[in-house]
Amino acid sequence: MKVGVLALQGAFGLHEQVLNRIGVAAVQVRTPEELAEVDCLVIPGGESTAISKLLDANGLGDPLADRLTDGLPVLGTCAGMILLAAEVVDGYPGQHRFGAIDATVRRNGYGRQSESFHAPIHIEGWESAFPGVFIRAPVVESVGRDVEVLAELDGVPVLCRQGSTVVSSFHPELAQDDRIHRWFVERDWSTGHHRFVERE
Amino acid sequence: MAAESMSGRETGTTLVKRGLAEMLKGGVIMDVVTPDQAKVAEDAGAVAVMALERVPADIRRDGGVARMSDPEMITGIQQAVTIPVMAKARIGHFVEAQILEALDVDYIDESEVLTPADEAHHIDKWAFTVPFVCGATNLGEALRRISEGACMIRSKGEAGTGNIVEAVRHLRSIIGDIRKITQADSAELFDWAKQLRAPLPLVREVAETGWLPVPMFCAGGISTPADAGLVMQLGAEAVFVGSGIFKSSDPAPRAKAIVEAATNYRDPHILAKVSRGLGEPMPGLEIDGLETHLADRGW
């Protein structure tokens, strides 16, 4: 399986490092040709306005929308979540909303940098907490009925899945913990079968 | 200063401070002096704006003491855009930094572009919740700033000149020394720490990881997409553009072109495409003819 990391702007290098650490050779995606070759995609944290504009500049907007419609497994963290959401509050006009997850998110909903934080995240069915790092993070305000909420913080969803789309408000790429990346790449997205074990 | 609140939330930690710098990688941070310019920057795809009263080229031309910007102007820019807003404090002027923190800016630049307030000491940046970026001309300077709590380093270049030569000198110096340190044996690291006037644990960290413990961006003299491509290929992880955009003949398309160049910095075909028809870049200055070398400020 070929894992791509959208490498237009943001923490794509950190996602690559985590993937390499768990033995997955990730490739950077900047062009439609590179996108066409991957079996799943990570959309990193960064500035969603900048990434959205760069998607257009590099001719990736329509090809990415098509692949998402076809069920491309995708992990979107922070800015990635904003781009994948169906509705964005306080977004930038004209910003891409791919609608791969039926959620309404408020951009910078957790506040400015002074309110950026980390906190332990308890993920459904996992034994130990995941270190969640929230940087000017988006708040999930509501989710549709087809969305599975995998983790909440103070009653607010922070990790969600719908079909083969997985989104987080926080940055697993900033944590010294590879479980979310392993969970994402060790699932057979066509059958839903999981090879993932929390502890290795 | 780190603080703890509901659900074990911790703010102001090194992780969240350096984390924002990680999110800005591959992007362009633009100097702006009005809310309208900030909108132009955001529309072009800037990842953040630096709010200041005068761009470096004007500070250089006007002379006199350059200080922190008027809070009203910073607030106006914060209201105009959704991307992070940074602002500059004078070197060592920790009260300007306290004011910027009270204004809730996203990053403080302790900057040599402003007139230094202290000729021996930089700000103790560990004392703040808001993260700091600092300039450096060489590895020792970068590591001293990191030891004081800086969470992002920018190579200084020579601001307000539109001349890339100093940026290249500083980047090559920092990255060249990092390469040498990774080849040094454990005994040589003591001497490196002494030569660099930098803490030994940071020197050891550089030797082990082959990079700074924080992201390194490039500033000072970038005025074309090719300049952005040059410093990114040399190893910068993002770029600051000061006077280069709003002192050019047609700022909006130039801003967008530099954003696209920072992403596609290894692709000469895209660089050629985005470099077309951008109008006049800012007028450049020869380094030898300068009255003030801003990069010399900082200790």
Cβ–Cβ < 8 Å for B91, B297: yes
- Give SS3 for A25: coil
d(CA B47, CA A51): 9
Residues of chain B with pLDDT under 70: 1-6
A-chain residue closest to B101, CA distance: A114
Nearest to A83 by CA among A146, A8, A26: A8
d(CA A129, CA A179): 11
Record: contact B9-A117, CB cut-off 8 A = yes
- Beta carbons within 8 Å of B177's beta carbon, 6+ residues apart: B138, B139, B196
A34 to chain B, any CB pair closer than 8 A? The answer is: no
Record: contact A118-B104, CB cut-off 8 A = no
pTM for this predicted structure: 0.96
Return averaged pLDDT per consecutive 10 residues of chain A, 200 residues in all. 96 97 95 97 97 98 97 97 96 92 97 96 94 97 97 97 97 96 92 81
d(CA A125, CA A186): 16
- The pLDDT of residue B3 is 56
Long-range contacts of B172-181 (CB under 8 A, 24+ apart): B172/B234, B173/B137, B173/B138, B173/B139, B174/B136, B174/B138, B174/B139, B174/B142, B174/B212, B174/B216, B175/B234, B175/B235, B177/B138, B177/B139, B178/B139, B178/B206, B178/B210, B178/B211, B178/B212, B179/B210, B181/B139, B181/B206, B181/B207
Record: contact B42-A134, CB cut-off 8 A = no
Rg (CA), chain A: 15
- Beta carbons within 8 Å of B155's beta carbon, 6+ residues apart: B135, B136, B137, B167, B170, B171, B174, B216, B217, B218, B219, B220, B231, B236
β-bridge partners, A121:
A130
Q: Which of residues 181-200 of A touch B (CB under 8 A)?
A: none
B205 to chain A, any CB pair closer than 8 A? The answer is: no
- The pLDDT of residue B6 is 67
A115 is catalytic: no
CB environment A127-144: b (16+ within 10 A), e (fewer): eeebbbbbbbbbbbbebe
Interval B186-240: pLDDT, tens = 999 999 999 999 999 999 999 999 999 999 999 999 999 999 999 999 999 999 9
- The pLDDT of residue B78 is 97
Beta strands B239-241 and A74-77, pairing class? unpaired
Exposed / middle / buried, residue B181 (Cβ in 10 Å: 0-12, 13-18, 19+): buried
B15 to chain A, any CB pair closer than 8 A? The answer is: yes
What is the rounded average pLDDT for all residues in chain B?
95
Interface predicted TM-score of the whole assembly (ipTM), two decimals: 0.96
A160 is catalytic: no
- The pLDDT of residue B262 is 98
- Beta carbons within 8 Å of B90's beta carbon, 6+ residues apart: B66, B67, B68, B96, B110, B111, B114, B115, B116, B117
Tokens of B192: 């490196």
- Beta carbons within 8 Å of B268's beta carbon, 6+ residues apart: none
**CA dihedral sign of residues A81, A87, A89, A92:** positive
Of A40, A78, A96, A181, which residue is the catalytic one? Answer: A78
**CA dihedral sign of residues A149, A18, A118, A103:** negative
Phi-psi region of A10 (alpha: psi -120 to 50; beta: other; left: phi over 0): left
